[in-house]
Amino acid sequence: MPRLSDHPPRLTAAALAAVLMAALLVLLPGTAAQAAPVLLSQGRPVTASSQENGGTPASAAVDGDNATRWSSQFADPQWIQVDLGAPAQLSQVVLRWETAYAKAYRIELSADGTGWSTAYSTTTATGGVGTHNITGTARYVRVYGTERATEWGYSLYEFQVFGTSGGGPTLPGGGDLGPNVIVFDPSTPNIQGRLDEVFRQQESAQFGAGRYQFLFKPGTYNGLNAQIGFYTSISGLGLSPDDTTINGDVTVDAGWFGGNATQNFWRSAENLALNPVNGTDRWAVSQAAPFRRMHVKGGLNLAPDGFGWASGGYIADSKIDGQVGNYSQQQWYTRDSSIGSWGNGVWNQVFSGVQGAPAQSFPNPPYTTLDTTPVSREKPFLYLDGSEYKVFVPAKRVNARGTSWGNGAPQGSSLPLSRFYVVKPGTTAATMNQALDQGLNLLFTPGVYHVDQTLRVNRADTVVLGLGLATLVPDNGVTAMKVADVDGVRLAGFLIDAGPVDSPNLLEVGPAGTTTDHAANPTTVQDVFIRVGGAGPGRADVGMVINNHDTIVDHTWIWRADHGDGVGWETNRADYGFRVNGDDVLATGLFVEHFNKYDVQWNGERGRTVFYQNEKAYDAPNQAAIQNGSTKGYAAYKVADSVTVHEGWGLGSYCYYNVDPTIRQDHGFQAPVRPGVKFHDLLVVSLGGKGQYEHVVNTTGAPTSGTSTTPSTVVSFP
Task: Return the active site residues.
Answer: 615
Q: What are the residues facing 6 on neighbouring strands?
A: none
What residue type is 690 in one-letter code? K
Q: At 384, is the secondary structure helix, strand, or coil?
A: strand
Q: Are 562 and 617 in contact (CB under 8 A)?
A: yes
**Which residues lie below 8 Å from residue 607, measured CB to CB, with a gap of 6+?**
580, 583, 584, 585, 586, 587, 639, 643, 646, 647
The DSSP symbol for 697 reads: B
Q: What sign results for the dihedral spanned by CA atoms 252, 258, 261, 263?
A: negative
Q: Can you say how many angstroms the Cα of residue 452 is from the centroid of all Cα atoms in its chain? A: 23
Can you count the helices (H) and strands (E) in the chain?
Answer: 4, 52
Q: How far is it, in rounded angstroms, from Cα 669 to Cα 718?
A: 12
What residue type is 2 in one-letter code? P
| DSSP β-ladder status, 412-416 and 388-394 | antiparallel
Report CA Rg, the chain: 26
Q: How far is it, in rounded angstroms, from Cα 109 to Cα 23?
A: 9
Q: How far is it, in rounded angstroms, from Cα 115 to Cα 121?
A: 17
Q: Are 316 and 268 in contact (CB under 8 A)?
A: no
| DSSP β-ladder status, 441-444 and 420-423 | parallel
Q: How far is it, in rounded angstroms, from Cα 338 to Cα 341?
A: 9
**Which residues lie below 8 Å from residue 465, measured CB to CB, with a gap of 6+?**
380, 382, 391, 420, 441, 442, 443, 444, 490, 492, 493, 494
Q: Are 178 and 122 in contact (CB under 8 A)?
A: no
| DSSP assignment of 31-47 | PPPSSPPEE--TT--EE
To 5 degrees, how large is the angle CA 521–CA 525–CA 528? 165
Q: How far is it, in rounded angstroms, from Cα 612 to Cα 607?
A: 13
Q: How far is it, in rounded angstroms, from Cα 206 to Cα 227?
A: 15
| DSSP β-ladder status, 38-39 and 212-216 | unpaired
With b meaning 16 or more CB within 10 Å and e meaning fewer, what string describes 329-350? bbbbbbbbbbbbebebbbbbbb
| DSSP assignment of 587-632 | EEEEEEE--SS-SEEE-STTEEEEEEEEE--TT--SHHHH-BTTBS
The DSSP symbol for 557 reads: E
What is the number of other CB atoms lying within 10 angstroms of the CB of residue 206? Answer: 19
Q: How far is it, in rounded angstroms, from Cα 554 to Cα 537?
A: 28
**Which residues lie below 8 Å from residue 654, measured CB to CB, with a gap of 6+?**
614, 615, 616, 684, 685, 686, 687
